[in-house]
Amino acid sequence: MTQQTTRIPISSIILDEDIYPRKGIDHRRVGIFAENIRDGFKFEPVEVELVPDKSGRYRLLDGAHRWSAYKSTGVSETEAIIKNLDGNDPLLYAAKKAIGPIQLTEDEARNTARRAYTRNSSLSSADIGKAIGRARRTVDSYIADLKAATRMGMDIKIFRMNHLGIPQDRIAKRLGVNQASIHNHLLKMATLPNLINADLERGFTVAQVAEKHNWTEPMVWSLALKDKEDLERFKELGWGLRTWDQWEWNDCDKRFGDDWPGRIPAQLIAHILFYFSKQNDLILDPMAGGGVTPDTCLALSRRCWAFDMTDRPETRPEIEPYTWTLSSDQQLSWPVTSKEKADLIIFDPPYFDKKAADYDRKSISALPKKEYLEFFEAFFALLRLNAKKTTRLAFINADWRDFQSKPAAEESGKGAILIDDYLRILNKTGWKHTHIIQAPMSAQRFSAVVVSAMQKKRILGVISRYVIILKQ
C-alpha cells in the first residue's frame, strides 16, 4: 500500500458509514479530543482514501473522532495520510485501525464481519478475523448463514435456471461447465425435489423448508404451488388480487428479490403476470436488478430470461450479466441468439437521476436527460425488433420532478421527465399502449419529520408510478 501525507480541508472529508466499523461516534471522546486541540495538543494524521468517482473528496479510514473534534473546534485543515489500498477492503482496513485504542464491541465485530463477507464472499474467516480482532471460529459463527446462502450448490443452480426455461447451452456458459455436464445433472433433477416435497407434506412451512435445505423461498414455492391455478397461488402467497386498475401496497414482499435500489413489490410483478401472461409463458426482464421478476416467475410458473449489468453468479445465477450500451451510431445489441421470443417483457429501468449514486456508475440513471431519453428510444426500438407480434411490453416508471427543495409553485418543469415523455417515445418506436395502471409507491417511505418540513415549504412530493401495457 502506498501513502502520502498532506494538509487537506476538513470540509473535503466525509464519514462513509459503508466502511465505518463502529455503530456511531462516541461524543464523549470527541469532547475530550476537542479540549486537547484547544490546549494545543497535536494528534497523529487522520487516514483517508479518495472517494470513488468524486474528485477532491476523501473518506475516513482512521480518525473519525479526531475529525469530529476538528470540526467542532473550527479547524479548517488537518494533516492526512492519503492511502491507496490497492484493492484491499476499506471496511476491514478501517476495522483494523479502529481496534487500536478500543476493541470493537461484539455487535460491531459481528456487523463488520457480515458486511465484509457480503461485499466479498471470497474473503476467508481468518482474513476477516485478523482485521476485527476475533478468532476464525468466532467469525465462522458470525457469517455461517451468509456462507450457506451464497454458496448455492451446482445442482440447485442448474435446477433453478432450468426451471426458469434458460437453455442448456446458456446454463453451461453461465456456470463455466460443458453442456454434457449440464445434461447429466438434469437427468438427476427428478429426485432433487423429493426431500423438499417430503417436508412440505409433513406440514413444514415454505420458510422452514427453505432454511433447512438452503433453497430460496421462491424455489420452494415453485414446488409447493405445483399444478395450482394462478388464483390459488395468489391465495397461498397471501396476496390479495386487485381487480381494478389501481395497484397499491405499503411494502415490498421481502420473500422475493434482494434488497436493491429501487426495489419494486413482487405483488406488482405478480399482477402483471396474472393479467398479461399465462403459465409457462416466457417472460423477459432486461434490467433485472435484485431479481424480483425471476423470483415471482418461479412462484407463478412462468419461464424467465433475466439480464443485469451486476454479475452475481453465486447468489443469482439465473440473472445473466449484460450491459446495454449505446454504440457511436446509437445502436444497441441483443444479449442472446435465440429463435424463441418473449411472450411478455417486463421493463423496470433505473429512474432518471433518482438513486443514481446507489447504482453502478455505468447505469443509465446517471446519464444526462437528453442521453437518458435517447437510450430509451433505441431500447424500445430494439425490443420491438426482438418481439413477436403478440408480445406485450409492461413498462414501469414514474414522473420525475426535481421537487426535493422547491415549493410546488416554483417548479418550472424544465428538467422534468413525465410519463408523457415515455409514451411519446414508445409510440414513436411502434408500441401502442392498451392500459395505464396506477401503482403508486408507498407514502410510508416519508418520515413524519420529512412530511412536516415539506408541508411548511409547500413542497409537493412524488409517489406516482405507472404500469403501462403496450403491444405493437
Whole-number pLDDT of residue 318: 97
Whole-number pLDDT of residue 101: 66
**H or E segment to which residue 159 belongs:** helix 154-163
Whole-number pLDDT of residue 149: 61
Alpha helix (H) ranges present in 330-407? 369-385
CA quadruple 89, 262, 15, 59: dihedral sign: positive
Buried b (16+ CB within 10 A) or exposed e, 392-416: bbbbbbbbbbebeeeeeeeeeeeeb
Cell matching residue 47: 487516514
According to DSSP, the residues that pair with 2 across neighbouring strands are 84
Query: Over the chain (472 residues), what is each successive 10-residue block's mean pLDDT?
Result: 78 91 87 91 91 86 93 92 88 86 86 88 86 91 76 81 95 89 79 92 96 92 97 97 95 90 92 98 96 98 96 91 81 91 96 64 81 93 96 95 84 87 96 97 78 91 94 96
CA–CA separation, 201 and 195 (whole Å): 10
* 8 Å CB contact between 459 and 380: no
Torsion of CA 158, 164, 167, 168, to 10 degrees: 10
Whole-number pLDDT of residue 340: 95
Angle at which helices 266-276 and 230-237 pack, to 10 degrees? 170
* 8 Å CB contact between 238 and 221: no
Whole-number pLDDT of residue 3: 60
Whole-number pLDDT of residue 346: 98
Q: What is the pTM of this model?
A: 0.69
* 8 Å CB contact between 471 and 394: no
* 8 Å CB contact between 365 and 351: yes
